[in-house]
């Protein structure tokens, strides 16, 4: 699937088409099922990756980002690894609404990470940014993350 042509406005305020998909998933209140059950919607997100998840407890932030992009006609990384997004698309110097944000998790040098869509600076916490993503509190949600954890801001090439 070839990427569609996407050009944000000069101020970065164009609504990236994958954000509409992500917001719709948040409105559906997609979340993990506690206990031995699994949310089939979360397992569906993994169809946009090469990873076959058996349970909704598997880390699914990257699967969510891949799925949202695919639903809007864009190619993601196809990987369930959050840090796979470091090599995807093109880097942008300053974040813009809808850009993919890659964060470190554990420590900056670990292989662990988190990925989501940039929403803007946090209105509640200084030096934090708001991300719309999957597997944030075991659900699709908007959460604040420290800016110091940002590894990259990425957009489709």
Which pLDDT score is estimated for 8?
A: 57
Nearest Cα neighbor of 86 from 73, 71, 76, 95 is 76
Can you read off the two tokens belonging to residue 156?
């489709």
For the stretch 55-84, what's the b/e string if a residue is b when 16 or more beta carbons lie within 10 angstroms of its beta carbon?
A: ebebbbbbbbbbbbbbbbebbbbebbbbbb
State percent of the chain over pLDDT 70. 91
Query: CA distances (Å), 108 to each of 87, 128, 150, in order?
Result: 16, 17, 9
Rounded to whole angstroms, the Cα distance separating 31 from 29 reads 6
So what's the pLDDT on residue 15?
81
80-138, pLDDT tens digit by residue?
999 999 999 999 999 999 999 999 999 999 999 999 999 999 999 999 999 999 999 99
Ranges of each domain in the chain = 17-155
Which CATH number applies to 17-155?
3.90.1720
Segment 50-61 mean pLDDT: 96
Other beta carbons within 10 angstroms of residue 139's beta carbon come to 17
Residue 13's pLDDT band (cuts 50, 70, 90): very low
């Amino acid at each position: 699937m070839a990427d569609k042509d996407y050009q944000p406005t000069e101020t970065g305020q164009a609504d990236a088409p994958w954000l509409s998909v992500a917001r719709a998933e948040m409105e559906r209140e997609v979340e993990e099922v506690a206990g031995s059950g699994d949310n089939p919607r979360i397992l569906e997100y993994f169809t946009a990756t090469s990873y076959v998840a058996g349970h909704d407890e598997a880390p699914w932030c990257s699967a969510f980002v891949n799925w949202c992009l695919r639903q809007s006609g864009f190619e993601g990384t196809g990987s369930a690894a959050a840090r796979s997004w470091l090599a995807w698309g093109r880097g942008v110097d300053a974040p813009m609404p809808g850009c993919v944000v890659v964060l470190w998790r554990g420590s900056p040098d670990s292989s662990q990470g988190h990925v989501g869509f940039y929403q803007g600076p946090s209105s509640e916490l200084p030096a934090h940014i708001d991300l719309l993503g999957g597997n944030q509190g075991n659900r699709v949600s908007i959460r604040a993350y420290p800016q110091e954890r940002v590894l990259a801001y990425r957009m489709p090439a």
